[in-house]
Amino acid sequence: MSSKIKNIEILELGEKGREISSPWSSTILLVKLTTDDGLVGFGEAPTTLMTLPVKESMEEVKRFFQDKDFFNVEKNVREFYTHSFYLSKSMEATSALSAFEIASWDLIGKALGAPVYNLLGGEVAKKHRAYANGWYSDCVTPDDFLAKAKKVVSQGFTAMKFDPFGDNYDQLSRKGLRNAVDIVSTLRNELGDEVDLLIECHGRFSLKAAIDAGTALDPYEPLFMEEPLHPELEIGLLELKKYVRTPIALGERLLNKADFARFISQGMVDIIQPDLTNSLGILENKKTAAIAEAFAIPVAFHNAFGPIQTAASLNVDTTLNNFLIQESFEAFWPDWKKNLVRSGYKLEKGYFTLSGKPGLGIDVNEKILESNAVDGMEPYDPKEPPWVVSGTFREA
């Protein structure tokens, strides 16, 4: 059995003519590693208005993995770390490296005939509670949100995340705050206490606005409030937590275990949300989860891109004592993305399960790799940023 990587393909996928800019529905980046004896492993990197920079960074990483032993995950990652001077601060570099790291684990599992989770400690649980995201496109008013939220519940979800703040950015107007409260209170009153509401802020607020939002929504007992502050205002989290009871979640813009250790040890976060596709992949996030477990902090992986990311996240989820809940856009993807992976995991009645097949467990549809190959920047909508769910960044 050979363990050498012989062929590396970097793939950009999307849907020609589709102008929605939200990354969960537009482009994704994949790496396909093939060994000299025919094993194939896949990894995924994020986009979010940085498709081409990440794609170019993947070309840089490619040089460090070509002809290398894919079993040597720690060594190969460290080799790129040694050469990549800005890696610890560059999401483009960490994203590119994460895709190769994930694909390496896919190969390792296939070479050993074992699912990745069995190589990381085995099963803690067989199924994983999911929360819906991406469900509230074009929602602005409380009635808009309620109509779609009822459909989400009918699909079996018992938790859903949403951004109720419209086009408010940095500051939060009185009207914007009233509308957010009306949306959250309507969902709480109509859906009852059996459905968890997760509040998405998208890292958009100043400290005062975040305090206003958090204290106003506290009575509706959200499961968490995600990224309430601009990410560069991290020191404000300590002040925010003096006023807001709702647990604070964040992590999709943190790039490694050291970043998370700083936030956790200083008491700035209650729930961590690492993204495997930008924070150095599977093994790094197993370590990050262990750091969090030592502080009794639960893990809810960020998961906004494609099915290979989902499969990788679930393989780590399976091994965690401190798993909380898993983000899911699956039910609201465009068809090409739904069909990219034929098997590997299932989402039924609000819970994920893994196939248990070797590696990540996935069977990639090669026809989609051909039919949905694209080249270039992802779509850009000047009326709303790519990090919102489409049609929501407007005044009620």
Residue-wise pLDDT tens digits, 364-375: 999 999 999 999
Does a structural domain hold residue 36? yes
Does a structural domain hold residue 377? no
Identified catalytic residue from 83, 128, 230, 302? 302
Q: State residue 385 phi and psi, 5-degree precision.
A: -70, 160
Does a structural domain hold residue 371? no
Does a structural domain hold residue 171? yes
User: Is 83 assigned a catalytic role?
Assistant: no
CATH number at residue 288: 3.20.20.120
Q: How confident is the model at residue 48 (pLDDT cuts 50, 70, 90)?
A: confident
DSSP letter assigned to residue 377? P
Mean pLDDT value across residues 148-154: 98
Residues 80 and 170 in one domain: no
Mean pLDDT value across residues 143-159: 98
Residues 100 and 135 in one domain: no
Residues 150 and 270 in one domain: yes
Q: Is 375 helix (H, G, I), strand (E, B) or coil?
A: coil
Residues 200 and 259 in one domain: yes
Q: Are 359 and 116 in contact (CB under 8 A)?
A: yes
The answer for residues whose C-beta is within 8 angstroms of residue 52's C-beta and 6 or more apart is 376, 377
DSSP 160-223: EEE---TT--BS--HHHHHHHHHHHHHHHHHH-TTSEEEEE-TT-B-HHHHHHHHHHHGGG--S
Mean pLDDT value across residues 127-136: 97
- Paired strand residues for 347: 352
Interatomic CA distance for residues 202 and 387, integer angstroms: 7
Residues 129 and 275 in one domain: yes
Residues 108 and 122 in one domain: no
According to the 3-state scheme, what is the secondary structure of 166-181?
CCCCECCCHHHHHHHH
User: Residue length, the chain?
Assistant: 396
Q: What is the rounded end-to-end Cα distance, in angstroms, of the chain?
A: 61
Q: Are 58 and 47 in contact (CB under 8 A)?
A: no
Does a structural domain hold residue 219? yes
Residue-wise pLDDT tens digits, 61-85: 999 999 999 999 999 999 999 999 9
pTM over 0.75: yes
Tokens for 156?
Answer: 């079996």
Q: Residue 25: what pLDDT?
A: 58
Residue 24: pLDDT above 80?
no
Sign of the CA dihedral with 17 first, then 22, 25, and 28 last = positive
Residues 105 and 130 in one domain: no
**CA gyration radius, the chain:** 20
Q: How confident is the model at residue 15 (pLDDT cuts 50, 70, 90)?
A: confident
Does a structural domain hold residue 252? yes
Interatomic CA distance for residues 95 and 254, integer angstroms: 11
Residues 109 and 124 in one domain: no
The last residue of one of the domains, among 90, 114, 138, is 114
The last residue of one of the domains, among 83, 114, 145, is 114
User: Is 202 assigned a catalytic role?
Assistant: yes
- Report which of 283, 281, 360 is spatially closest to residue 98, judged by C-alpha positions: 281
Interatomic CA distance for residues 352 and 206, integer angstroms: 36
- Report which of 272, 273, 274, 217 is spatially closest to residue 240, judged by C-alpha positions: 217
Q: Are 147 and 153 in contact (CB under 8 A)?
A: no
| Structural domains in the chain (count) | 2
Residue-wise pLDDT tens digits, 297-324: 999 999 999 999 999 999 999 999 999 9
Strands 127-132 and 40-45: what pairing? unpaired
Percent of the chain with pLDDT over 70: 97
Does a structural domain hold residue 22? yes
Amino acid at 71: F
Does a structural domain hold residue 130? yes
In whole angstroms, how far apart are CA 87 and each of 29, 94, 133, 387?
19, 6, 30, 23
Residues 341 and 287 in one domain: yes
